[in-house]
Amino acid sequence: MAKANYVDFPSTLQIIGCMFKQPTLIDQAGDQYLFSERDFPNEFHRIVFGAIFNLHQMGVDHLTIKEIETYLQNYEQDYARYKVENGAEWLAEAIKNAEPDNFSYYCSRVKKMTLLREYAAIGLDLSFIYDVNNFQDAAKKKRQEEFLDNASLDELANLIDERIENIRREVVDNFTDDAIVIGDVIDNVLEELNEAPDMGTPLYGRYVNTVTRGARLKKLYLRSAASGVGKTRSLLADACYIACDKIYSLEDQKWIDNGIKQSTLFISTEMEIKELVTMAIAFLSGVNEEHILTQTLEFDEKERVNTAVEILKSSPLYMEELPDFNLRDIENTIKKNIRTNKTQYIFLDYIHTSIKILEEIATRSKGVKLREDNILFLFSVNLKNLCNQFNIFIFSATQLNQDWKTAEIPDQNLLRGAKSIADKIDYGSILLDVTKQDQESLQEIVGTNGYDMPNVKMSIYKNRGNSYNKCYLWMKADRGTCRFDPLFCTSYNYEYIPIAETKITNTYR
């Protein structure tokens, strides 16, 4: 028999008995609790559960003990164990005592025990949650049982993770609550800036690095856009630019070096990875994505596409799909890639609510309903906290609300769901198509300086610690190659602002 540590035998007995009496409960359990072998550390329980589950999957809706035994006879070792454990008598007792009305409670208990068992297996002391060796303190036993019953799986996991992270902050990150006298650190700050100016890994596009100082660690950037303008394409372009070391220059008609490959993660909440792959190829090669999708490549385009494919194959660019997610899913995905892929550059397409987020927030708030703007604000707070905690860079996006069509100033008031998202970001911009009025206002600047007429404008409405703010970067955008190339800069009143291109040759922060 399995060890008693973190195993709830009565609940296991109930689960098997309930599923036997009502096999449809298996489907109910699958919606909320995905059972696996690790949930049944006792081999005999695992055998019986597996038989019931597989017979249900085969279409058997009304089970008998005879059917269980007939099924197990096909598996000699399992059937022998079933006979040794007096399986028929055990099953009859389980069926007799089953309480289907309390099925959800028993499922929750078993999953909580699995969680504690898995943490205990790596050596963690969980007696502060549930002390299995407590045989004398009845009050403590009662208190811990009540806590275990009332806490959700997420709350238990968070409680344990928080203890682990506290140790890391105190020991590894040298976290302290003590105030610091500015005079004690001022020399170190200036020395660090002298050795490594506050610049990050370069982003794509002339003047973009002048405006942003690159992708800087511990910073949260936001680039919003109306549907169809190119939010995903521009984000993916930057992700590729950071992760890949070469890009085809249409201006020079050759491949050019693009700095150091940086481990980069692109999280997609809507588009499939296969859609992102063709965009990435188009961006690096400078070949219109339509030619790639329809396989109507010209000779020189075939060679460029093949080269782009090889570059992508050797690049540390990781992609994950999260079509239905909550805050914990985003956080766990980022942490996993930090741990396994040493990732420091994260692109999240994009910040919005989902059914799963609403359910998570409702659980955390004990049923208190929060407005969408509150939830989206919490989303941005979580992302900024991750930037600071793990020394990473995050670039995300949002959709716009309907006011973008009439707003005079494109700023945080256009963010769909909550302008408060912008409170926590370090850089915020909005992509919009150029209007007829824009073209008329730009005629003199374009004619005098010999620029092409832009077709996209990027409104920079927040730029913490940078001089370029409350202004437009006017761009020539080719959505087919995901390339958004800045041409010049103006104020919101179309006043020309001189701007120099900043070449970042090293990654500092």
Domain ranges in the chain are 9-166, 199-497
pLDDT over threshold 90, residue 284: yes
**Residue 7 identity:** V
Kindly write down the DSSP assignment for every residue of 361-428, as one continuous string: HHHHTTT----HHHHHHHHHHHHHHHHHHHT-EEEE---B-GGGGT-SS-SGGGBSS-GGGGGS-SEE
Q: Can you give the pLDDT at residue 93?
A: 92
Task: Quickly state the pLDDT bin for 307 (edges 50, 70, 90).
Answer: very high
Q: Evaluate whether the domain defined by 9-166 bears CATH number 1.10.860.10.
A: yes
For domain 199-497, the question of CATH label 3.20.20.480 is answered with no
Distance CA 193, CA 214 (A): 15
Please give the structure tokens belonging to residue 213: 């100082």
pLDDT band at 370 (very low <50, low <70, confident <90, very high): low
DSSP string, 120-144: HHTT---TTT--TT--S-HHHHHHH
Percent pLDDT > 90 in the chain is: 52
- Give the model's pLDDT for residue 1: 35
What value does the mean pLDDT take over residues 125-130? 88
Dihedral Cα 139, 140, 143, 149, nearest 10 deg: -130
| Nearest Cα to Cα of residue 462 among 220, 231, 204 | 220
Range 403-412 average pLDDT: 86
pLDDT at position 280 is: 96
Q: Is 486 helix (H, G, I), strand (E, B) or coil?
A: strand
Q: Are strands 483-491 and 264-268 parallel, antiparallel or unpaired?
A: unpaired
For 94-108, 179-193, 227-241, 305-319, which range has the lowest pLDDT when averaged over its residues?
A: 179-193
- Burial pattern 124-158, b for ≥16 Cβ within 10 A else e, equals eebeebbeeeeeeeeeeeeebeeebeebeeeebbe
Statement: residue 69 has pLDDT above 80: yes
Name the packing angle between helices 355-364 and 153-167 (round to 10°).
80
User: Which is higher by pLDDT, 407 or 496?
Assistant: 496
As a whole number, the mean pLDDT across the chain is 86
- Beta-strand relationship, 264-268 and 345-349: parallel
Element (H, E) at 59: none
DSSP state of 214: S
Q: Please provide the DSSP assignment of 235-246 as one string.
A: HHHHHHHHH-SE
Query: Within its chain, how far is the Cα of 14 from the centroid?
Result: 36
pLDDT at 164: 78
Mean local confidence (pLDDT), 474-478: 95
Burial class (CB in 10 A: 0-12, 13-18, 19+), 410: buried
Residue 178 pLDDT = 59
Instruction: Name the helix (H) or strand (E) containing 26.
Output: helix 25-32
Among the residue ranges 25-39, 47-61, 219-233, 302-316, the one predicted with the least confidence is: 25-39
Q: What is the pLDDT of residues 253-265, one digit of tens each?
A: 999 988 789 999 9
Task: Give the tens place of pLDDT for each residue, 22-62.
Answer: 888 887 765 566 777 788 889 999 999 999 888 988 888 78
239-248 residue pLDDT tens = 999 999 999 9
Q: Measuring CA to CA, which residue among 474, 463, 491 is closest to residue 214?
A: 463
pLDDT attached to residue 365: 59
Q: Write down the pLDDT at residue 322.
A: 87
| Percent of the chain as helix, strand, coil, to the nearest 5 | 50, 15, 35
What is the average per-residue pLDDT within 56-74? 88
Structure tokens at 334: 């980022």
Nearest of 453, 506, 434, 421 to residue 209 by alpha carbon? 506
**Residue bearing the bigger pLDDT, 66 or 326:** 66
Q: How far apart are CA 229 and CA 350, in angstroms?
A: 14
Maximum Cα–Cα distance across the chain: 93
Q: What is the pLDDT of residues 327-344, one digit of tens each?
A: 888 888 999 999 899 999
Please check whether the two domains, 9-166 and 199-497, share a CATH topology: no
Q: Mind listing the pLDDT tens digit for each residue in 375-398?
A: 778 888 889 999 998 999 999 988
Evaluate if residue 345 carries a pLDDT over 90: yes
Structure tokens at 86: 């007096």
Residue 278 has pLDDT above 70, yes or no: yes
pLDDT at 267 over 50: yes
